[in-house]
């Protein structure tokens, strides 16, 4: 018992130290190719931090540099103010849950989980392993071999094997990637529960934006070796900083416009003859050419010419070009006079009849939900369905 | 478990498929086994039985007078007591040669598997290159390498490792060197095959879990290469224990191994019953040792 108290006190001391993970100007080149480009990142102690980005953007490389399995070309990595950039992996207070799990096939589950403790000569391994297996709900599986477990069970062993060492930072490289959707959702909840329970900093790499949003306190969206934006999930969603983030995290309607007026709180733009208003706090650019953005579920459809509220933004004279029923909602595509198609999600509340292809409609939404982005950026950056379509038509 | 088994049984009895796929596959399996089985029966089982029978013939018979089957177990006592020394020498020489071959082959196989990069295939070819010439010629070559006025002996004398009148040829050193040299490739190849299969991410995982380079090798790489290590040591030890060429060419009768004794009994003395007894003893000794060894190495799950 007293053993356990010291354990916990040690644990407590460590957490009190404010063990932030800091990456400063981290660059990694493979030959001429730059996988991670001058990256700065601070992960606060005790956070569930998600590194989100498309395939090949450098997430794994970043994680491997933190773990010490890859050496940065330049830059510094610190934990709790201590520079660990040149430390060997086995000297870092960091453990990893690998994408492939990498469980030792020649050891049983208990010995897999005990591996780190045994290397450090910790006493009382058996009890700790037992407790850890209970935590991941695998009590009684200790004598099995990894090959005798299901994918989800192996995933939990990989988690237990890393977590039992009480690292200052736990790195998770798409640990749920190999699981089917249902198990993935279940494990997301599980992971979140365990993180809250143990209070260790989790850095979770994923390319599933839904996963990042449901689990993380803070998300960093990464693209081509740089971080595009970092913040709480709802911040990123409501106020994206770049076209990439606006498309990669959910969907966005982006319409070309020009700033015509601005005061302290609002920026007024002109989009194809319509005056639209955005809060200054959501404007990444307040002069010249901009993208006016709004999320599809924030937009309402109305019969052409009908009345709308005072603080509404309105884009008129659209024609419904496609209607897809998705159960809880209906997705409309509306062709605008300038040739662009905008997307609208409408809840199937049953309060009114839907629209049909060919109907003339106005789009309106609250000014508060409007954001402005730099018009120099590609409107389709990060839009996976667009990329897929472009790819398909090209081939 | 029981439900699944019951399911299988009822399916086999009442299922609409007359021939369940499992049974069809096993029939094909037996068919494929047939040539190998035949080969084994003709070239292994029959000669072994013949050998065992011969080992029990009346030792007073000869080729001219013919042999009678007297069930003379005493042949074994004669063989063991007369040729105790060559028996022990065989096991000792083969054991030392296997150990040396392992020490040479492991680093080599490791380097080929993990460090050779694009030279991997070239190095593998070099490992088997000696097989392009005959075993006999290669062993004869060692005779001149280790000869009294050869480079190695004179260098060792200069270094005072060997006394002025010392020699290598016709010593147990020469025989063990020859055995080691001849069987190293049989150690390298299975070791390489085992090492090459190891997922390097497991090594990374061990480093992530506080194992330094050496510990990582001891706890991950080495255990995962055990199947190759066991196969390699068996492929070296078994033929080395029965070898007679190396002792014949590089040694003197003082270094003769049981292979030389059997060779002599069969071909010179024409004492078939004792020769056969020696062969059977060697065979049983090796089988017993291999069984114990494989058990101890605990590689059943890995093989
Ligand atoms: N050892 C290496 N040598 C050369 N290029 C590499 C190496 N490792 C990674 N890269 C390149 O660096 C880029 C980033 O790779 P990384 O594995 O970090 O991507 P990722 O974001 O984890 O992608 P995914 O989601 O597909 O796992 C990729 O373009 C990859 O081809
Ligand atoms: Mg990756």
Architecture label for domain B74-302: Orthogonal Bundle (1.10)
Q: A56 CB less than 6 Å from ligand 1?
A: yes
- Looking at residue B25, its pLDDT comes to 60
pLDDT at A13 over 90: no
How far apart are alpha carbons A386 and A252 in whole angstroms? 12
Ligand 1 neighbour A60 (Cβ under 6 A): yes
d(C-alpha A179, C-alpha A205), whole Å: 15
What average pLDDT score do residues A235-251 get?
89
Residue A61 in contact with ligand 1 by CB distance below 6 A: yes
Mean pLDDT of A222-229: 91
> From CA A242, how far away is CA A291, in angstroms rounded?
10
Cα(A177) to centroid(ligand 2), Å:
10
Interface contact B220, partner A, CB < 8 A: yes
B180 vs A253: CA distance, rounded Å: 75
Strands A21-30 and A341-347 turn out to be unpaired
Mean local confidence (pLDDT), A200-210: 90
What is the spatial distance between Cα B220 and Cα A9, in angstroms, rounded to a whole number?
33
Chain A touched by B138 (CB under 8 Å) = no
Considering only CA atoms, give the Rg of chain B: 25
pLDDT digits (tens, 9 = 90+) for A95-114: 999 988 999 999 999 999 99
List the one residue out of A175, A105, A168 whose CA is nearest residue A136: A175
- Going by their DSSP bridges, the two strands A169-173 and A21-30 should be labelled as unpaired
pLDDT tens digit string along B173-211?
999 999 999 999 999 999 999 999 999 999 999 999 999
The pLDDT of residue B24 is 56
Mean per-residue pLDDT for A205-231? 91
Which residues of chain A lie closer than 8 angstroms to B209, CB-CB?
Answer: 90, 95, 115-116, 119, 161-162, 165
DSSP state of A283: B
**CB of A223 closer than 8 Å to CB of A382:** yes
- Complex ipTM: 0.79
pLDDT at B29: 81
Which residue matches tokens 């053993």? A3
Question: In what helix (H) or strand (E) does residue B20 lie, and over which residues does it extend?
Answer: none
Nearest listed ligand to the Cα of residue A51? 1
Helix, strand, or coil here: A248?
helix
Suggest the residue from B198, B208, B223, B299 to mutate for an interface test with chain A (most A CBs closer than 10 A). Answer: B208
DSSP single-letter state for residue B236: H
Between B119 and A278, the higher pLDDT residue: B119
CB of B125 closer than 8 Å to CB of B272: no
d(CA B206, CA B201): 9
Regarding beta strands A218-223 and A48-52, do their DSSP bridges make them parallel or antiparallel, or are they unpaired? parallel
Q: Do the chains contact at B202 and A102, CB–CB below 8 Å?
A: yes
pLDDT band at B111 (very low <50, low <70, confident <90, very high): very high
Q: Nearest to residue A240, comparing CAs of A66, A40, A102, A374?
A: A374
Ligand 2: centre distance to CA A97 (Å): 12
pLDDT band for position A3 (50/70/90)? very low
Span A79-89, average pLDDT: 90
pLDDT at A141: 93
Identify which has the larger pLDDT, A112 or A284.
A112
CB B174 within 8 A of CB B252: no
Using an 8 Å CB-CB cutoff, list chain A residues near B207: 68-69, 88-90
**How would residue A255 be classed by pLDDT, with cut points 50, 70 and 90?**
confident
Beta-carbon separation of B206 and A115 below 8 A? yes
Closest CA to B240 of B156, B173, B177: B177
Residues A156, B123: Cα–Cα separation, whole Å: 41
Q: Is the pLDDT of residue A260 over 90?
A: no
CB B98 within 8 A of CB B237: yes
- Tell me if chain B has a CB within 8 Å of the CB of A120: yes
To the nearest whole angstrom, how far is the Cα of A95 from the nearest Cα of chain B? Answer: 6
Q: Would you say residue A202 has pLDDT above 60? A: yes
Residue A239 DSSP class: S
pLDDT digits (tens, 9 = 90+) for A113-156: 999 999 999 989 999 999 999 888 898 899 999 999 988 899 88
| CA separation for the pair A328, A348 (Å, rounded) | 6
Strand A94-97 relative to strand A371-374: parallel, antiparallel, unpaired? unpaired
Share of chain B above pLDDT 70, in %: 89
The Å distance, Cα A14 to ligand 2 centre, comes to: 29
pLDDT above 60 (res A8):
no
Question: Binning pLDDT at 50, 70 and 90, where does residue B49 land?
Answer: very high
**Contact state of A165 with B211 under an 8 Å Cβ cutoff:** no
pLDDT digits (tens, 9 = 90+) for A316-360: 788 888 888 888 888 889 888 888 888 989 888 776 777 888 888
Stronger pLDDT, A249 or A353, i.e. the higher one: A249
**Between B303 and B177, residue with greater pLDDT:** B177
Contact A100 B201 (CB under 8 A): yes
Tell me the CA distances in angstroms from B272 to B63, B82, B170, B265, B279, one per residue in order.
9, 15, 28, 7, 10
Distance between CA A240 and CA A321 in Å, rounded? 28
The pLDDT tens digits of the residues spanning A359-390 come to: 888 888 888 888 988 877 787 877 776 666 65
Q: Which residues contact A251 (CB under 8 A, 6 or more apart)?
A: A295, A296, A343, A383
Sheet holding A274-279, edge to edge: A274-279, A266-271, A253-262, A289-294, A371-374
CA distance linking residue B40 with residue A262, whole number of Å:
94
User: Which pairs count as long-range contacts for A231-236, CB under 8 Å and 24+ apart, including other chains?
Assistant: none
């Amino acid at each position: 018992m007293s053993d356990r108290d010291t354990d916990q006190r040690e644990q407590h001391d460590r957490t009190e130290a404010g063990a932030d993970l800091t990456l400063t100007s981290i660059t990694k080149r493979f030959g001429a190719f730059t996988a991670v480009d001058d990256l700065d990142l601070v992960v606060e102690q005790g956070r569930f931090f998600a590194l989100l980005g498309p395939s090949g953007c450098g997430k794994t490389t970043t994680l491997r540099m933190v773990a010490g399995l890859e050496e940065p070309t330049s830059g510094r990595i610190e934990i709790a103010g201590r520079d660990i950039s040149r430390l060997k992996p086995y000297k870092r207070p960091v453990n990893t849950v690998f994408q492939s799990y990498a469980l030792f096939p020649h050891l049983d589950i208990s010995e897999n989980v005990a591996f780190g403790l045994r290397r450090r000569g910790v006493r009382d391994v058996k009890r700790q392993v037992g407790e850890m297996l209970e935590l991941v709900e695998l009590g009684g599986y200790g004598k099995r071999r990894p090959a005798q477990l299901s994918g989800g069970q192996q995933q939990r062993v990989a988690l237990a094997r890393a977590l039992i060492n009480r690292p200052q930072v736990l790195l998770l490289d798409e640990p749920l990637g190999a699981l089917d959707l249902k198990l993935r959702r279940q494990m997301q909840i599980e992971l979140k529960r365990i993180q809250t329970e143990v209070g260790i900093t989790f850095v979770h790499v994923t390319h599933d934006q839904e996963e990042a949003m449901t689990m993380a306190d803070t998300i960093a969206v990464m693209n081509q070796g740089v971080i595009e934006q970092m913040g709480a999930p709802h911040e990123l969603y409501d106020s994206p900083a770049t076209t990439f983030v606006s498309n990669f995290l959910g969907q966005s309607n982006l319409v070309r416009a020009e700033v015509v007026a601005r005061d302290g709180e609002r920026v007024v733009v002109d989009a194809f003859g319509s005056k639209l208003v955005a809060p200054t706090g959501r404007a990444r650019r307040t002069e010249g050419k901009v993208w006016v953005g709004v999320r599809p579920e924030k937009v309402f459809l109305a019969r052409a010419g009908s009345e709308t509220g005072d603080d509404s933004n309105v884009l008129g004279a659209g024609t419904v070009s496609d209607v897809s029923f998705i159960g809880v909602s209906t997705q409309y595509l509306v062709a605008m006079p300038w040739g662009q198609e905008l997307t609208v999600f409408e809840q199937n509340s049953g309060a009114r009849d839907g629209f049909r292809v060919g109907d003339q409609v106005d789009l309106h939404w609250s000014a508060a939900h409007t954001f402005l982005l730099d018009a120099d950026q590609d409107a389709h950056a990060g839009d996976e369905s667009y990329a897929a379509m472009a790819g398909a038509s090209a081939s | 478990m029981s439900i699944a088994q019951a399911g299988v049984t009822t399916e086999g009895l009442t299922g609409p498929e007359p021939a369940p796929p499992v049974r069809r596959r096993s029939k094909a399996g037996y068919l494929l086994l047939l040539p190998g089985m035949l080969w084994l029966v003709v070239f292994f089982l029959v000669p072994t039985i013949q050998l065992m029978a011969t080992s029990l013939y009346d030792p007073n018979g000869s080729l001219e007078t013919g042999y009678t089957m007297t069930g003379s177990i005493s042949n074994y006592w004669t063989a063991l007591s007369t040729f105790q020394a060559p028996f022990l020498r065989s096991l000792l020489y083969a054991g030392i040669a296997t150990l040396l071959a392992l020490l040479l082959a492991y680093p080599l196989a490791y380097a080929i598997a993990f460090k050779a990069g694009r030279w991997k295939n070239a190095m593998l070819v070099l490992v088997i290159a000696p097989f392009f010439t005959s075993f006999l010629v290669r062993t004869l070559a060692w005779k001149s390498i280790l000869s009294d006025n050869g480079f190695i002996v004179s260098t060792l004398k200069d270094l005072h490792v060997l006394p002025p009148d010392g020699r290598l040829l016709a010593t147990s050193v020469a025989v063990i060197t020859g055995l080691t040299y001849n069987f190293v490739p049989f150690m390298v190849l299975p070791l390489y095959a085992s090492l090459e299969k190891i997922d390097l991410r497991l090594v990374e995982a061990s480093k992530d879990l506080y194992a330094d380079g050496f510990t990582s090798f001891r706890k991950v790489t080495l255990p995962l290469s055990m199947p190759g290590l066991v196969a390699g040591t068996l492929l070296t030890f078994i033929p080395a224990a029965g070898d007679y060429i190396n002792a014949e060419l590089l040694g003197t009768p003082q270094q003769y191994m049981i292979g030389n004794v059997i060779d002599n009994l069969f071909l010179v003395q024409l004492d078939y019953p004792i020769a056969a007894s020696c062969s059977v003893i060697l065979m049983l000794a090796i089988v017993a040792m291999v069984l114990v060894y494989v058990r101890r190495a605990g590689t059943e799950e890995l093989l």
